[in-house]
Amino acid sequence: MKKLIPFYFNVFASYLGTSMMVLIFTLMFFAENQSATVLSMSSFEKANMFGLLITLFPLGQFLGSPVIGALTDRFGRRSIILITLFCAFLSYVTISISFQFDLLMLMGMALFFGGLFESNIALTQNVIADLFVQKKRAVYFSYIGTMTSSAYLLGPLFVGFLSKSTQFSWITAATPFWFVTFLLAIIFLWIALFFEETHIASKRVHVHWLQALSNVKNIFCDKQMRLYYLLTFITCCAKFGFFRFLPLYLTEQFSLSTKTIALVISFGALPMFLNTLFFLPRFLKRYTVNQIFKVSSIVYCPMSLVLLFVTDFNWIWPVVFFTFICSSFSMMTLMPIISNQAPENRQGGVMGNNMSVLLLAQIVIGPIGGLLAGHWFKSPLILCSLLSLVAGLYFCKLDLKPKTCL
């Protein structure tokens, strides 16, 4: 277990950065205190630039995940995790500097490379597989979800806290990124000093540098699983899109302070944390993952649409909480559904392809949501609500098919 601790913290650092990016970029483009570069843009240009920036990090992850995984099989876990951690550290240094000095072009490049090298978080699963037999892996895999939900809970709170700190003149909008940079430096030193290799390098493993593009081809050509990959794509577009564009909606609709928006987003992330530890295990004792996914996906649609009709801000809290409960249930049951439909001898390949679909959804929903937000700030949330309904109804149709037809 001790060997896994720095890897869990790497997962936490990666998702902490991701959770803060959405809020920081929202404030950067839509809050009152905008830089000169942003002020020179039209509302349409701001929305599209926002959509582009939140897309670049997952784009890097999409291209990097399969390559880094293959590199660790060929050269060993330790050397590759250290190289990628150091490069991720440099990327966050660049992100921090570009944000400090309002350099949008440099920021975009750094976000892409940050995502490319932070795709090393998938190595946590590899190390778990190296250290434990199959029966014991499930509990250690669940800790990945705990670290992820903790990051989404604490990230916005951290941004909100910094925005209210006036005691220290050195605190700026770039400070959250410097904090992630500091975390990555500690994790790098931790692994460099204490982590021992868990996998024997194999020169027989071939590294395909464009494996991500091959994965996309495999997704479309896989007649047995492509209908379920489509389910993942629709669901992830709905859920990730909602999380990314909710701060924009709150800013435009209610003109809230940074601290209040951060509290709302963290409050919305709370169900994900609670589901991981408490709710979902109890629900699974009474219902199947199929039942939970269908109900939560369909109920999510009216719950999220209600949010758009709330005029009294006090009602935002319960609506956001229950909307994110539905979202969390959908996302947590989606992966077991995909795994259950895949043959035992194809589990690794199918779940790898499914991860590519998940990242592809994040890449697609950013620019589309930004384009829609440029015309009307509520439209991205409406799209995400309808997509969740489509996912639930689509799964009802899939679920009616006998297993032999899959």
Q: What is the mean pLDDT of residues 301-306?
A: 91
Tokens of 68: 């880094």
Letter for the amino acid at 90? L
Model confidence at 133: pLDDT above 70:
no
Q: Give the span between the Cα atoms of 372 and 387, in whole angstroms.
A: 15
Same domain for 17 and 158: yes
Residue 170, classed as helix, strand or coil, is coil
**209 inside domain:** no
- Vertex 246 angle, CA 16 and 115, to 5°: 35
How far is it between the farthest Cα atoms of the chain? Answer: 65
Give residue-wise pLDDT tens across range 12-49.
999 899 888 888 888 888 877 666 677 888 888 888 99
Query: Which range is least confidently modeled, 130-134, 308-312, 393-397?
Result: 130-134
Read off the CATH number of the domain in which 373 is found.
1.20.1250.20
Q: Give the span between the Cα atoms of 161 and 163, in whole angstroms.
A: 5
**216 inside domain:** no
Q: Give the span between the Cα atoms of 264 and 315, in whole angstroms.
A: 11
CB 145 within 8 A of CB 22: no
CB 144 within 8 A of CB 66: no
- Best mean pLDDT range from 73-77, 101-105, 332-336, 345-349: 101-105
Q: Could you tell me which of 16, 278, 349, 309 has the C-alpha nearest to residue 159? A: 16
Burial class (CB in 10 A: 0-12, 13-18, 19+), 33: exposed
Q: Give the span between the Cα atoms of 378 and 309, in whole angstroms.
A: 10
Tokens of 5: 């601790």
Domain boundary among 162, 196, 230: 196
Q: How far is CA 289 from CA 84, 234, 322, 336, 404, in A?
A: 35, 18, 19, 7, 20
Same domain for 331 and 369: yes
Model confidence at 162: pLDDT above 80:
no
Q: Give the span between the Cα atoms of 357 and 229, in whole angstroms.
A: 7
Show the domain range for 135: 1-196
Same domain for 381 and 257: yes
For the entire predicted model, the pTM comes to: 0.81
Give the chain's mean pLDDT: 83
Q: How far is CA 78 from CA 7, 41, 198, 247, in A?
A: 11, 45, 8, 38
CB 351 within 8 A of CB 342: yes
CB 383 within 8 A of CB 372: yes
Same domain for 111 and 17: yes
Model confidence at 262: pLDDT above 80:
yes
Same domain for 268 and 179: no
Q: What is the mean pLDDT of residues 125-149?
A: 72
**204 inside domain:** no
Give residue-wise pLDDT tens across range 358-374.
889 999 999 999 999 99
Same domain for 177 and 238: no
Same domain for 188 and 112: yes
Same domain for 143 and 75: yes
Higher pLDDT, 174 or 309: 309
Tokens of 131: 């250290």
Model confidence at 135: pLDDT above 70:
no
Q: Could you tell me which of 345, 66, 23, 342 has the C-alpha nearest to residue 157? A: 23
Question: Residue 404 has what pLDDT?
Answer: 39
345 C-beta neighbours (distance < 10 Å), count: 7
Give residue-wise pLDDT tens across range 198-211.
766 666 656 666 66
How many separate domains does the chain show? 2
Q: Give the span between the Cα atoms of 199 and 76, in whole angstroms.
A: 6
Question: Residue 137 has what pLDDT?
Answer: 63
Question: Residue 108 has what pLDDT?
Answer: 92
Measured in whole angstroms, how far is the alpha carbon of residue 159 from the centre of its chain?
18
Higher pLDDT, 218 or 169: 218
Question: Residue 112 has what pLDDT?
Answer: 94
Model confidence at 400: pLDDT above 60:
no
62 C-beta neighbours (distance < 10 Å), count: 25
Question: Residue 402 has what pLDDT?
Answer: 40
Higher pLDDT, 356 or 164: 356
**202 inside domain:** no
Same domain for 247 and 333: yes
Model confidence at 134: pLDDT above 90:
no
288 contacts: CB under 8 Å, gap ≥ 6: none
Question: Residue 82 has what pLDDT?
Answer: 92
Residues of the chain above pLDDT 90, percent: 26
Q: Could you tell me which of 55, 6, 19 has the C-alpha nearest to residue 273? A: 19
Question: Residue 184 has what pLDDT?
Answer: 94
Domain boundary among 159, 179, 196: 196
**24 inside domain:** yes
Same domain for 70 and 1: yes
Same domain for 268 and 151: no
CA atoms within 13 A on the CB side of 72: 25
Confidence of residue 174 (pLDDT cuts 50, 70, 90): confident
Confidence of residue 406 (pLDDT cuts 50, 70, 90): very low
Higher pLDDT, 276 or 151: 151
Same domain for 240 and 180: no
Confidence of residue 403 (pLDDT cuts 50, 70, 90): very low
Domain boundary among 196, 213, 235: 196
Q: Give the span between the Cα atoms of 105 and 166, in whole angstroms.
A: 29
